[in-house]
């Protein structure tokens, strides 16, 4: 079997210079590629392992164009890229995942409509177009609920809880008038996620679902295997497969799921490598970062089977001070992101602790 593979030494352009870009860049290097980074902020951990960093905003179309022209293929580690920028990039060089796939996940309303159109379950939701619509939306989704901006939210940002109807107006005001939705609570026993890849040839490969625990709205740990009946495990993978196929998606996607008495409910999809897939670095022959690079460069997808049980633990803020101590423990793999300034709530690194053979 032959593959049309992006030649050795080609340049992959990554939009976004954070830790996901950093780990993607290293995976790209393992497969013989060079990486360029585009990052609006002055901090680009990915730049340490790339041949160049362009510091410019997504509205600087001249810089975007020049960046795209200097690369052979484009991808991103950051999903909130404006549509105009995506269009420009896609017109200049192959972009994976494609703009259309990204746009679905950029808007919580579009995303939920899309998921429901596939017959998948989501939390009850209702669009809020203006302050006057809040009460009506809460009627539909029930209360308590969470108001979320339709766009540009991550790690709990752009969200406000409404525990009682009396809090609704203040909660909506905290979103500063951004288009929003109200989302009802889902009673779930646990949260799991599936990391799935789809190649340019349409083939799909999924990793085992991992079980996630959040703290203060930020992922704290992912554990594989997830405590999940075999049937739900299969459901999770089939459902994720349905999503990437419907989107004609190329690359790695993270699909967050709630486990409920009525089955799996999709929380959200992330059109990129995902924090809850970091365990694959210790548990699989080919990790999520290499899998993404393989997908977008035309390599065959790698073997996603899991050979080890792993607990991934994020090192957030001061946690990072414990890294050297933990490094002595058998089976512990350390990943630091090279961020010199430690801040509360900042993801500084993670560890993968192998807890046994799979």
| Residues binding its own copies (CB under 8 A) | 1-3, 5, 7-9, 22, 25-26, 29-35, 47-51, 282, 285-286, 294, 299-300, 302-303, 305, 307, 320, 323-325, 327-340, 348-349, 354, 357
Judge whether 175 and 134 are in contact, CB under 8 Å. Answer: no
Closest to its own copies by CB, 129 or 201: 201
- Residue 93 Cβ vs its own copies, minimum distance, rounded to whole Å: 19
> How many CB atoms are closer than 10 A to CB 125?
22
Please say which residue, 249 or 299, places its beta carbon nearer to its own copies. 299
Bond preceding residue 206 cis, omega within 30 of 0: no
Helix (H) or strand (E) holding 103: helix 99-106
As a whole number of angstroms, the distance between CA 242 and CA 126 comes to 24
Q: How far is the CB of 95 from its own copies (least distance, A)?
A: 22
- How far apart (Å, rounded) are the C-alpha atoms in residues 134 and 131? 6
Of 269 and 316, CB closest to its own copies: 316
| Least distance in angstroms from the C-beta of 69 to its own copies | 19
Residues 299, 291 contacting (CB under 8 angstroms): no
Nearest approach, Cβ of residue 14 and its own copies (Å) = 13
158 vs 251, beta carbon nearer its own copies: 251
- Cβ proximity to its own copies: between 292 and 294 the closer is 294
Minimum distance of its own copies from residue 3's CB (angstroms): 5
Counting every residue written for the chain, the total comes to 358
Closer residue to its own copies, CB minimum distance, 52 or 241: 52
Q: Which residues of 86-117 are buried (b: 16+ CB within 10 A; e: fewer)?
A: bebbbebbbbbbbbebbbbbbbbbebbebbee
Sign of CA dihedral 268, 102, 80, 151: negative
**Distance in Å, CB of 228 to its own copies, minimum:** 24
């Amino acid at each position: 079997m032959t593959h049309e593979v992006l030649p050795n030494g080609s340049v992959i352009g990554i939009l976004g210079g954070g830790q996901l870009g950093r780990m993607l860049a290293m995976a790209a290097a393992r497969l013989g590629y060079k990486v360029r980074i585009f990052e609006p902020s002055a901090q680009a951990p990915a730049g340490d392992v790339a041949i160049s960093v362009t510091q410019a905003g997504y509205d600087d179309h001249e810089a975007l164009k020049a960046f795209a022209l200097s690369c052979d293929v484009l991808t991103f580690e950051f999903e909130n890229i404006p549509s105009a920028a995506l269009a420009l990039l896609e017109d200049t060089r192959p972009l994976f995942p494609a703009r259309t796939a990204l746009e679905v996940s950029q808007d919580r309303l579009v995303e939920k409509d899309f998921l429901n159109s596939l017959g998948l379950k989501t939390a009850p939701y209702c669009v809020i177009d203006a302050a006057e619509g809040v009460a009506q939306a809460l009627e539909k989704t029930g209360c308590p609920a969470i108001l979320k901006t339709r766009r540009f939210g991550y790690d709990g940002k752009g969200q406000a809880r409404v525990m009682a109807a009396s809090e609704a107006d203040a909660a909506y005001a905290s979103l500063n008038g951004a288009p929003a939705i109200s989302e009802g609570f889902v009673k779930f026993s646990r949260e799991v996620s599936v990391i799935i890849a789809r190649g340019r040839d349409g083939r799909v490969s999924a990793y085992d679902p991992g079980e996630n625990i959040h703290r203060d709205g930020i992922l704290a740990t992912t554990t594989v295997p997830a405590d999940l009946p075999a049937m739900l495990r299969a459901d999770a993978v089939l459902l994720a497969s349905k999503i990437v196929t419907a989107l004609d998606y190329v690359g790695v996607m993270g699909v967050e799921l709630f486990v409920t008495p009525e089955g799996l409910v999709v929380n959200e999809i992330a059109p990129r490598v995902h924090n809850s897939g970091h365990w694959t670095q210790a548990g699989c022959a080919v990790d999520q970062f290499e899998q993404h690079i393989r997908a977008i460069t035309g390599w065959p997808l790698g073997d996603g089977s899991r050979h080890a049980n792993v607990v991934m633990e994020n090192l957030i803020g001061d946690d990072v001070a414990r890294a050297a101590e933990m490094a002595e423990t058998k089976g512990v793999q350390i990943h630091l992101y090279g961020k010199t300034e430690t801040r509360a709530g900042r993801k500084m690194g993670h560890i993968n602790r192998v807890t046994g053979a799979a």
